[in-house]
Amino acid sequence: MARVLIRGGRLLDPAAGRDEAADLLLQDGRVAAVGRGMEAQGAEQVDASGCWVMPGFVDLHAHLREPGQEYKEDIASGGRAAVAGGFTSVACMANTAPVNDDPAVTDYILDRARQDSPARIYPIAAATKGLRGEVMSEMSALVDAGAVAFSDDGKTIMDSGVQRRVLEYSRLVERPVMVHAEDCGLVRGGVVNEGAVSTRLGLPGNPAVAEVVHVARDLMLAELTGAHLHVAHVSTAGAVELLREARARGVHVTAEVTPHHLALSDEAALGYDANTKMAPPLRSAADVAACQQGLADGVLDAIATDHAPHAVHEKEVEFTAAPPGVIGFETALAVVLELVRAGRLTPLQLAAALSSNPARILQLEAGRLARGDPGDVTLVDPERRWRYDPAKGHSKSRNSPWAGREFTGRVVVTLVAGELVFHADRGVLHP
Amino acid sequence: MQRGLLGIEGMERADIELVLETAFHMKEVGQRDVKKVPTLRGRSIINLFFEPSTRTRTSFEIAGKRLSADVINFSSSASSLSKSESILDTAKTLDAMDPDAVVVRHQVAGVPKRIADELAAPVINAGDGAHEHPTQALLDLMTVVEEKGRVDGLCVAIIGDIAHSRVARSNIHGFLTMGAEVRVAGPPTMIPARVEALGVKAARSLREALDGADVVMALRIQGERLSGAAFPSIREYAATFGLDRAKLRFAQDDAIVMHPGPVNRGVELSHDLADRRPSVILDQVRNGVALRMAVLYLQAGRRARAQEPR
Ligand SMILES: [Zn+2]
């Protein structure tokens, strides 16, 4: 098997606390050596000068739409978009058609991934059958089939008794239960953050408290059951505070935040662009600041894209009728790099939030670059300027709030299992 | 004058004054024996109504016809969802007909703006969801100018379902831009979040809102909310926020009462208040035609002039 020597870069290995100039030798799909001034006869050379050499990014929350909605995305296109954004491992949500609540669907996803995806794909199974929030799914069989976590994402388990049982039972398989925390009764058709913006726009508001109330409930149930609760796409200052307190009490809880909730406030929706419609919605500037602080403090563990492809015609409708969500793989790094440039995060913290932390949450062998670890590597040029055009991206969909945006910093090389799968000048390199 | 009329928010005071001035001229036209002028002959105006509204559509239609424009009505109660035709498809289809102005009413906020983004012709918002209803606010300003001789320095109280009212939003922006003070009052469940950010004062009671007001505007409680959960009962609403002559005593002696219509009698306004002074509801309706003539003239007429050979 080919050997690859990545030379002259700045190695960021958060799991080992390493931030230093170092070369990386990959062999047989794994890290063979880490050190300075390495030579390797016959190895393919990758010049990493000026670049950050990071563990391949791990996205613990994406929607790949296969099976059932292949017109939006499929595992092949989603996998290509992922590696183009530096993501070498992607966990995909269960709200497909059919729902991934059956080992046969989990098998199918993994089979398609083996054939067509340059990124490693990890299915998340439904927490309840049909995402109906009533009867829990066959967690043990699903884990045996390869599911790494459980989630009814896109929906919320409103019945507290069902949520308690889901959490309790998940201890059998020792896998996280990922929650989309929004109290449906409080959301009540709200499509933008409730506040000055919803009032100006005349659109139904979704109050921050809809998230906070639900996070409070689930933290109490996690504490009661001892299960691993993972809170998806945290968007409010209130939820960050509750998570901070729960962590201090020793509750087994982890949390993620999306690039859009870290970078955009509800004012982005002032032009009624449906590509600014998310669930949960973009929140106030104070909420954005609290999410950034939560990430810096480690209260929020991971950055997850919540990559949610939708076709153009689905977004070109009334704001209230448009499906929520945006694509995110190919812009994630560039968007969150601005937090490093603003001094809110160190490069090592950024690397942890994108790789080692999400890998730990999902118990994946990923997100680290010591000798013997998988050869999943992402090279980032923090100074490279580029302009994002969703039409030229690898996703089948284009629903991004960052279309046409100038960024500084981008993923330039991605390797999975020691194989070059993306190069910024050559595109996705996958059969 | 800005191209198109999507909302009062952000509209310059001078532009509002120009519209009102033009509307007063148009009102004179409406008082002649022959009410029709040839100003927009050969121009076409499309009324695109996704939400049924006989009153506003008729008002625009009469306004267009008095200016001799060809008025084409498109009505569709179905949203683009059920027709599987996107808003932008609709807009592009209209654009191909090369109208001189398009009047849009839709039940969802923001749709006129999205259509305007795609159209060459100016778009006039005839009401979008709970967002704006700019011609209503302009005709209300016109009526107040007629009654009071000015807007500057007046105190305006807007009463009722502020949260779901496009009339409230447009009037708030309009009255504030023209120099009035605006207060709002209604059941707390019908006051939108951070309403003060619009520049108004949120009064804690009807009495506080009315205290010294020169203009009192009651909003219509939409039919679907009469049975909703935003207030306990119609009887309770009428008792707490319904206006009658006794409650009106808190306002200035010469205060006028306005309502965008149609009135739920005995709910927003007592029977006798709906029909007689100080309510000016019929003047509002009359001014509606003149005001919409002014808007159509300033929007469709301008494009027509621009197309004439030099
Ligand atoms: Zn979600």
pLDDT band of residue A407 (cuts 50, 70, 90) is very high
A201 touches chain B (CB under 8 A): yes
Give residue A279 CA to ligand 1 midpoint distance, Å: 6
Average pLDDT estimate for B206-230 = 87
Closest CA to A98 of A130, A121, A123: A130
Mean pLDDT of B56-81: 84
Residues in chain B closer than 8 A to A268 (CB atoms): none
Chain A contact set for B113 (CB, 8 A): 271-272
Please write the tens of the pLDDT for every residue from B264-305.
999 999 999 998 999 999 999 999 999 999 999 999 986 544
Cβ-nearest to A205 among B88, B193, B197: B193
* Closest chain B residue by Cα to residue A316: B86
Chain A closest-CA separation from residue B49 CA (Å)? 14
Taking an 8 Å cut-off on Cβ atoms, the answer to whether B130 and A321 are in contact is: no
Q: What average pLDDT does the segment A390-402 reach?
A: 96
Q: Flag whether residue A285 sits within 8 Å of chain B, measured between CB atoms.
A: no
Q: Please judge whether A318 and B194 are an interchain contact, meaning their C-beta atoms are less than 8 angstroms apart.
A: no
> Which residues from A are below 8 Å from B169, CB to CB?
200, 202
**Which pair of structure tokens corresponds to residue A381?**
């040029």
Q: Please indicate if any CB of chain B lies within 8 Å of the CB of A198.
A: yes
CA of B244 to the centre of ligand 1 (A): 49
The confidence score (pLDDT) of residue B83 equals 55
Q: What's the rounded Cα separation, in Å, for the pair A61 and A122?
A: 10
pLDDT tens for B241-263 read 999 999 999 999 999 999 998 99
Judge residue B10's burial from the number of C-beta atoms within 10 Å of its C-beta, 0-12 exposed, 13-18 middle, 19 or more buried: exposed
- CB contacts < 8 A, A to B, total 72
DSSP states of A194-253: TTHHHHHHT--EE-HHHHHHHHHHHHHHHHHH---EEE-S---HHHHHHHHHHHHHT--E
How far CA A181 is from CA of A65, A157, A203, A212, B201, in Å, comes to: 21, 9, 21, 8, 34
Contacts of A69 (CB under 8 A, 6+ apart): A96, A97
pLDDT of B307 above 60 = no
Mean predicted confidence (pLDDT) in B116-133: 95
Q: Cα(B137)–Cα(B117) distance, rounded to whole angstroms?
A: 23
Q: Please report the pLDDT score of residue B84 as a whole number.
A: 54
Q: Using CB atoms, pick whichever of A196, A207, A321 lies closest to residue B81.
A: A321
Please check whether the domain covering A3-53+373-385+407-428 is classified as CATH 2.30.40.10.
Answer: yes
Distance A63 CA to ligand 1 centre (A): 10
**Residues with Cβ within 5 Å of ion ligand 1?**
A 153, 180
Inter-chain touch B79–A313, beta carbons under 8 Å: no
Domain B13-133+285-307 has CATH 3.40.50.1370: yes
Preceding amide of A14 cis, omega within 30: no
Q: What is the mean pLDDT of residues A101-111?
A: 98
CB contact A207 to B (< 8 Å): yes
Residue from the list B106, B128, B192 with its beta carbon closest to the beta carbon of A199 = B192
- A272 interfaces chain B, CB cutoff of 8 Å: yes
- Candidates B89, B108, B176: best to mutate against A (most CBs of A within 10 A) is B108
Chain A nearest-CA residue for B110: A272
Q: What is the CATH number of domain A55-361?
A: 3.20.20.140
Return the pLDDT at A260.
Answer: 98
Amino acid sitting at position A37: G
Q: Check A152, A153, A306, A381 and give the catalytic one.
A: A306
Handedness of CA A265, A266, A269, A275 (dihedral sign): positive
Identify which of B107, B18, B91 has the alpha carbon closest to the alpha carbon of residue B56: B107
Length of chain A: 431
pLDDT of residue B303: 52
For B55, half-sphere exposure in the C-beta direction (CA atoms, 13 angstrom radius) is 13
d(Cα A218, Cα A163) in Å, to the nearest integer?
8
Q: What average pLDDT does the structure give for chain B? A: 91
Lowest mean pLDDT among A277-291, A414-428, B37-51, B285-299: B37-51
The yes-or-no answer on residue A306 being catalytic is: yes
pLDDT at B226: 62
Residue of A386, A373, A410, A384 lying closest to A89 (CA atoms): A373
Beta bridge partners of A26: A4, A31
**A425 exposed, middle or buried (CB, 10 Å; 0-12, 13-18, 19+)?**
exposed
Fold match flag (A3-53+373-385+407-428 vs A55-361): no
Inform me whether the pLDDT recorded for B231 exceeds 90: no
Q: How many CA atoms lie within 13 A of A376 on its CB side?
A: 25
B232: phi then psi, degrees, rounded to nearest 5: -65, -40
Question: Do A350 and A357 contact (CB within 8 A), yes or no?
Answer: no
Q: Which of A19-28, A46-55, A358-367, B46-55 has the lowest mean pLDDT?
A: B46-55
Say whether B134-281 and B13-133+285-307 share the same fold: yes
- How far, CA to CA in Å, does B246 sit from each of A391, B206, B210, B239, B272? 64, 12, 12, 12, 12
| Residue A195 forms contact with B (CB below 8 Å) | yes
Give the lowest-confidence range in A72-81, A219-228, B222-231: B222-231
Q: Write out chain A residues lying below 8 Å of B111, CB-based.
A: 318
Cα–Cα distance for residue pair A177/A171, rounded to 1 Å:
10
Query: Is the separation of the CB atoms in B269 and B245 below 8 Å?
Result: no
Which pLDDT band holds residue B225 (cuts at 50, 70, 90)?
low
Structure confidence at residue B77 (pLDDT): 61
B176 Cβ contact list (under 8 Å, min separation 6): B182, B198, B199, B200
* Alpha-carbon torsion (B264, B265, B267, B273), positive or negative: positive
CB-based contact B79 A203, cutoff 8 Å? no
Residue A32 phi, psi (nearest 5): -95, -35
pLDDT at B85: 67
Say whether A379 sits in a helix, a strand or coil.
Answer: strand
Query: Which pLDDT score, from 0 to 100, does residue B269 have?
Result: 96
**pLDDT digit string, tens, across residues A146-190:** 999 999 998 999 999 999 999 999 999 999 999 999 999 999 999
What spacing in Å lies between the alpha carbon of A77 and ligand 1's midpoint?
Answer: 21
Q: Quickly name the fold that domain B134-281 has.
A: Rossmann fold (3.40.50)
How far is the C-alpha of B24 from the C-alpha of B261, rounded, in Å? 22
Contacts of B132 in chain A (CB under 8 A): 202
In sequence order, the β-bridge partners of residue B106 are B128
Q: Closest Cα partner for A123 from A362, A394, A415?
A: A362
Once rounded to an integer, what is the mean pLDDT over residues A389-408? 97
Span A375-393, mean pLDDT?
Answer: 97
Domain-wise residue ranges, chain A: 3-53+373-385+407-428, 55-361
How far does chain A reach from its first CA to its final CA, in angstroms? 17
Q: Please answer yes or no on whether A207 and B193 come within 8 Å at the CB atom.
A: yes
Task: Please give the distance, rounded to the nearest whole angstrom, from the Cα atom of residue A283 to the centre of ligand 1.
Answer: 15
Q: What is the mean pLDDT of chain A?
A: 97
DSSP B187: -
Task: For residue A83, give the H/E element and its range.
Answer: helix A75-84
Report CA(A236)–ligand 1 centroid distance (Å): 14
Q: Residue B245: how many CB atoms within 10 A of its CB?
A: 12
Q: First vs last Cα of chain B: how many Å apart?
A: 21
Q: A127 pLDDT band (50/70/90 cuts)?
A: very high
Tokens of A178: 């990922």
* Domain ranges within chain B, ordered by starting residue: 13-133+285-307, 134-281
A297 touches chain B (CB under 8 A): no
The answer, yes or no, to whether residue A191 has pLDDT greater than 90, is yes
Tell me which residue has tokens 């997850």: A304
| Position B78 confidence tier, pLDDT thresholds 50, 70, 90 | low
Instruction: From residue B275, give the alpha-carbon distance in Å to each of A332, B137, B262, B265.
Output: 61, 21, 12, 10
Look at residue B229 in the predicted model and tell me its pLDDT. Answer: 77
Q: What is the pLDDT of residue B76?
A: 72
Output the CA A158–ligand 1 centroid distance in Å: 14
Question: What is the per-residue pLDDT for B90?
Answer: 80
Dihedral sign computed on CA atoms, order B246, B250, B256, B259? negative
